[in-house]
Amino acid sequence: MNLIGLIIIAVTTLFPAYQLFTLPNITDQLALFSQYLGIAALILMAWGQILSTRVRGIETIFGGLDRVYVLHKWAGILAMVALLLHDTIDADMRGLGQAGALEDLAETLGEISLYGLLILVVVSIATFIPYHLWKWTHKAMGAMFIAGSFHFVFILKPFAMTDPAGLYTGAFCALGVIAYIWMLLPEGMRPSHGYKITGIQKSGDALAITLQPQGKGLKPAPGQFGVFQFTDTGKTEPHPFSFSKVEEDGTLRVTIKALGDFTSRLGRFVETGQDVRIQGPFGRFRHYGKKQEVWVAGGIGITPFLAWAHALSADAPQINLFYCVKSKETAPHLDEIEALAAAKSNLTLHVIASNEGQRLSADMIADQVDGDLSTMGVSFCGPVSLREALQKGLSRHGVGPRSFHFEEFEFRTGVGLKALAKWVMSKKEPALEQIAAHRNKRA
């Protein structure tokens, strides 16, 4: 994750604290703090909307798209925490005037935004919900953001919208709304490239699809991925897939394994001659070839390494590729990677088949690789459980976090959401009591 992007989000979120706490004649500092928490939540939610757009330049500032989505998730988590604290701590200030119909509507929309977001956070945690349904409920968070923005603009507050604090936060609200509208546009209205399927081949337990560009195609670096729409299948929801082969003439190949509801159905609908739209390329998972490396692929995680292996030059440092599979019979592209290893003296292949009683460990890697692991880079693509085990084990061999490279493709899961849900439930009753007391006071 790019440190510059983190600093930008942190500074833009903290800056309103300076704007608010330099306001004159404010005696209720606790209410002012609650006001800041609401503003910080809006800015973080605006960043969440901006990060989800996939527009050009986002990866340059914030890192690869996988890291952008992780940052998007954490911006949402922090925004939710700030909102709950804003709601729990009384933000009302005396002397701000009498609330009218518009202010009452803004108050109501603020509560709708809060509880709507709570429901959507629970939906985000429920990974059993099919992707296409989850996608639309996740997009509904933008509607809650618009409600929260309306709440901010028209609620009684200790500054005017034409003051610096109002203009600053209002600008973020506007940017967030624009980003949300962009995400609501049909996928066909966003920049993409047209391809036609020219070949479909079963490879192990996966499906290899070859695509020819129709007009100007993408120019992905080995290891990058695209966001695909199989427009002629009737299943037009976009999904990310790594390129397993990148040809000089622009031909691309993706290798897809049935792991979810979409990929399980795709094989029944995809045919040669069909049109495909691809957005991208995305990702920063690249082979720089400056030092000896270890590549670890788990199952379908072989796809970026295949592209790397095809592009591996004869003068590149030695590579040891560990390919973890359930069985050699079901391993995608095993023949192809074996042929590449035989043709390239600087590529050594180690196949680890679990049905033969084999299991990859950090000690096994250390035993089979010549040289000091602490001087090498390790690149990984595969299951999270294997990654975490190898990270822990390789750290004992001198491989630090900066030398262990991977992409995070589990966009719907991750640290924080379940903990947040538990915390939300613990705060639910006090928050409801606070709202009831607030309404009684206004009555």
How many angstroms separate the CA atoms of 221 and 308, rounded?
9
- The per-residue pLDDT for 428 is 47
- The per-residue pLDDT for 440 is 46
Q: Is the pLDDT of residue 187 over 80?
A: no
In a domain, residue 288? The reply is no
- The per-residue pLDDT for 284 is 86
In a domain, residue 73? The reply is yes
Q: Are residues 162 and 249 in the same domain?
A: no
- The per-residue pLDDT for 87 is 87
Q: Is the pLDDT of residue 41 over 90?
A: yes
- At 117-156, the pLDDT tens digits run 888 777 766 666 666 667 777 778 889 999 999 999 998 8
- The per-residue pLDDT for 156 is 85
In a domain, residue 287? The reply is no
Q: Is the pLDDT of residue 80 over 60?
A: yes
In a domain, residue 172? The reply is yes
Domain boundary among 224, 248, 282: 282
Q: Which residues contact 383 (CB under 8 A, 6 or more apart)?
A: 298, 299, 301
Give the residue-averaged pLDDT of 280-298. Answer: 89
Look over the chain and give the mean of its residue pLDDT values, rounded to a whole number: 85
Q: Are residues 165 and 36 in the same domain?
A: yes
Question: Do residues 355 and 205 lie in contact, with contact meaning Cβ atoms separated by under 8 Å?
Answer: no
In a domain, residue 64? The reply is yes
- The per-residue pLDDT for 287 is 85
- At 306-326, the pLDDT tens digits run 999 999 999 999 999 999 999
- Look at residue 212 and give its three-state secondary structure: strand
- The per-residue pLDDT for 164 is 92
Domain count, the chain: 3
- The per-residue pLDDT for 416 is 46
Q: Are residues 239 and 196 in the same domain?
A: yes
Q: Are residues 276 and 180 in the same domain?
A: no
Reported as type and span, the H/E element at residue 194 is strand 193-203
Domain boundary among 225, 247, 282: 282
Domain boundary among 257, 282, 307: 282
In a domain, residue 387? The reply is yes
What's the token pair of residue 360? 């990859």
Least confident of 74-78, 360-364, 367-371, 437-441: 437-441
Q: Is the pLDDT of residue 423 over 90?
A: no
CATH value at residue 258: 2.40.30.10
- The per-residue pLDDT for 438 is 46
How many angstroms separate the CA atoms of 77 and 205, rounded?
37
Give the residue-averaged pLDDT of 44-67. Answer: 88
Q: Are residues 161 and 55 in the same domain?
A: yes
Q: Is the pLDDT of residue 415 over 50?
A: no
Which residue from 225, 234, 374, 191 is spatially nearest to 307, judged by alpha carbons? 225
Q: Are residues 25 and 138 in the same domain?
A: yes
CATH value at residue 364: 3.40.50.80
- The per-residue pLDDT for 290 is 83
- The sign of the dihedral angle between the CA atoms of 82, 46, 137, 135 is negative
Q: Are residues 155 and 95 in the same domain?
A: yes
- The per-residue pLDDT for 246 is 93
- The per-residue pLDDT for 426 is 54
Least confident of 44-53, 106-115, 257-266: 257-266
Counting residues of the chain whose pLDDT is more than 70, the rounded percentage is 88
- At 321-355, the pLDDT tens digits run 999 999 999 999 999 999 999 999 999 999 999 99
In a domain, residue 392? The reply is yes
Give the residue-averaged pLDDT of 284-297. Answer: 88
- The per-residue pLDDT for 173 is 96
- The per-residue pLDDT for 98 is 66
Q: Among all chains, which residue has been given the structure tokens 């009498």?
A: 98
- The per-residue pLDDT for 27 is 79
Q: Is the pLDDT of residue 233 over 90?
A: no
Q: Are residues 138 and 248 in the same domain?
A: no
- The per-residue pLDDT for 256 is 92
Answer left, alpha or beta for residue 416, where phi above 0 means left and psi between -120 and 50 means alpha: left
Q: Are residues 15 and 63 in the same domain?
A: yes
Q: Is the pLDDT of residue 23 over 50?
A: yes
Q: Are residues 40 and 91 in the same domain?
A: yes
Give the structural domain span for 333: 293-406
> Residue 409: which pLDDT band, with cuts at 50, 70 and 90?
low
Q: Are residues 209 and 179 in the same domain?
A: no
In a domain, residue 436? The reply is yes
Q: What is the DSSP string of 235-263?
A: EEEEEEEEEEEE-TTS-EEEEEE--SHHH
- The per-residue pLDDT for 9 is 95
Q: Are residues 173 and 239 in the same domain?
A: no
Q: What are phi and psi of 246, to 5 degrees?
A: -125, 110
